[in-house]
Amino acid sequence: MKRNKRERQALLTETIKENPFITDEELADKFTVSVQTIRLDRLELSIPELRERIKNVAEKNFEDEVRSLPIEEVIGEIIDMDLDNSAISILDIKKEHVFKRNQIARGHHLFAQANSLAVAVINDELALTAKANIRFTRSVLEGERVVAKAKVISIDEEKGRTLVEVTSFVNSEIVFIGDFEMYRSHA
């Protein structure tokens, strides 16, 4: 159904308010218009692009929660956080993340996303990686979105260690699995 510009922009604003993580491409499909039309609508409505919206949500929601490192040092954008329990971040793989010859993401970016999320989920002033056991299960390509999910498996108060499992996905396919043994100053 074709809508006039005013109706489309009102629905666009409402849709983005409900889901700040929706892409311009998804919005274009939803409203059966071009991506360029969506970008022009966002510009006219002063709605920032996806990356900026994600950053704003992350800073607003998690800036005071993350204790172990500054939020801007987390690789990827945190979209959910429950300290000492679980966390989720997203990382859009861009040209600067991939090898030029084959557009495959460099592994250290996926590791950095998972490792920084494992640090961020720790409810302590100090959290460091003591040991990591990682496995890459498939290559990630430029243009793909990696969703990393961290889950605290155990907290050993005597040793000051926390075990965090991080699984990273592209869509619903697992691309990375890591078990991180984290040192913390207090349990």
Q: Containing H/E element for 177?
A: strand 173-184
**Residues 144 and 179 both lie in one domain:** yes
Least confident of 2-6, 39-43, 112-116: 2-6
Rounded CA gap, 115 and 110, in Å? Answer: 9
Rounded CA gap, 134 and 107, in Å? Answer: 11
Cα angle 130, 152, 168 (rounded to 5 degrees) comes to 85
CB 105 within 8 A of CB 141: yes
**Residues 37 and 78 both lie in one domain:** no
Which of the two residues, 180 and 5, has the higher pLDDT score?
A: 180
Number of Cβ atoms within 10 Å of the Cβ of 119: 24
CB 160 within 8 A of CB 185: yes
Domain of 142, in residue numbers: 65-184
Q: Which of 120, 121, 96 is nearest to 109 (CA)?
A: 96
In the prediction, which pLDDT does 65 show? 57
DSSP 88: E
How many domains does the chain divide into?
A: 2
Q: In this predicted model, what pLDDT tens digit does every residue of 95-149 receive, in sequence order?
A: 999 999 999 999 999 999 999 999 999 988 888 999 999 999 999 999 999 999 9
**Residues 36 and 10 both lie in one domain:** yes
